[in-house]
A and B are shown apart, each in its own frame.
Chain A
Amino acid sequence: MAYTVVFVEDEELVRREIVSSIRWEALGLKLVGVAADGAEGERLIKELEPDIVITDIRLPAQDGLSMLASCPVDHAIILTGHTDFTYMKQAIRLGVFDYLLKPVSDEELEEALVSLVQKIQEEDRDVEQINRRHREHDHSITLPKHFKNHVIDSAVAFIVDNYSQSVGLQEAANHLGVSESHLSRLFKEVTGLNFLQYLNAYRINKSVEAMSDPKKNIAEIATSCGFPTPGYYAKIFKRFFGRTPTQFRDILGSPQ
């Protein structure tokens, strides 16, 4: 299945050129939406929930970075003429995959997309692995809580304590006093899983527990489990269980 892409760029010529020149299918991608400003981009992203967003920074209505901040975007590539340090810092904080400076050759953009696709595939393999190895039954994912590593045990404890907050790799690394890259590498090494996938899996488990309370709707559950939006929650959920939370709840709720 091809990964979906939304492309946001205000200059029409550039938009047309990228849309036509990049060999989307060959890269295993599908361009599902193109927007000319930040507001339209946000609407499209929320509606289409793409795997990848490619965006400029300077955009009408809303700049690319705040657009990314307000949407559940997993992977983003920035295309910009600006080398402003504050922009770059913000982009890094948002977990942007690459920051390409205009003029960008199509080859450069394609290279960046290739490595991003590889990364997403790796993450998917993680999810599959979790699903294959740690799924005892249909209702939860089994996640080991203890590893023979003090740092990782502390990182897991951090997830257990803070999953309901808006936290990520950066906060965990700060909390433990190690660098993000070190924690990321070590986590993968020790647990065989990506830190973010582990966190998401833990959150999904918690959300399944919360579903048993009939008074809570899906949106409330998403927020209480630390997901930024219900749409993003739904997307992650589907990745693990193959169906949306609503469908899952229906099945769960129907008398067996």
Chain B
Amino acid sequence: MTQLRLVLVDDHAMFRAGVRAELGSDFDIVGEAADVDEAIRVIRATIPDVVLLDVHLPGGDARAVLDGCLPHVPATRFLALSVSDAPDDVVATVRGGARGYVTKAISGPELREAIQRTADGDAVFSPRLAGFVLDAFAGGAAEHDDEIDRLTPREREVMRLIARGYTYREVATELVLSIKTVETHVSAVLRKLQLSNRRELARWASDRKLI
């Protein structure tokens, strides 16, 4: 099996070195970048499988990198990393096109799994991101809501289990589903998060001075 090709984007050299040491044996790290312009250049030159993308960068944020790359490297997936759990970071990066969001406190094995899952085209939700989603989509759906603006009961169940710290495998066991089905549900939620114009989502973001 060929190794996945990674690009690390983070303005802290220490962090890149740490990730390199941690993942270097399992992945082919083809490039590193410390700011937005460099990131766009490196990613477009190397066309990696997965980009580990820090949310806060000098010269812009993850959103700028996503905007600058996604049209040119459609096969590359982005996994956002951040030290903060601020909801505005989550919403901005996920809406910008990242396939997942994890905090930097994530353990090595979990990060490896998250990268693999991102490369497979699945969504990666941390417990906290699942909590945000439940919060943002909370409340009984009004009748005029589009389908995109609410979670199905099954998606809600999956989100709640992820928020409770269950891995996808444990979620599958708990709900007597296949892992593939769980992944499908999570991807559906990710799509809704990216496309929904649900009022609460907007209010929720503006409460946190996002828009």
Partners in one complex: no
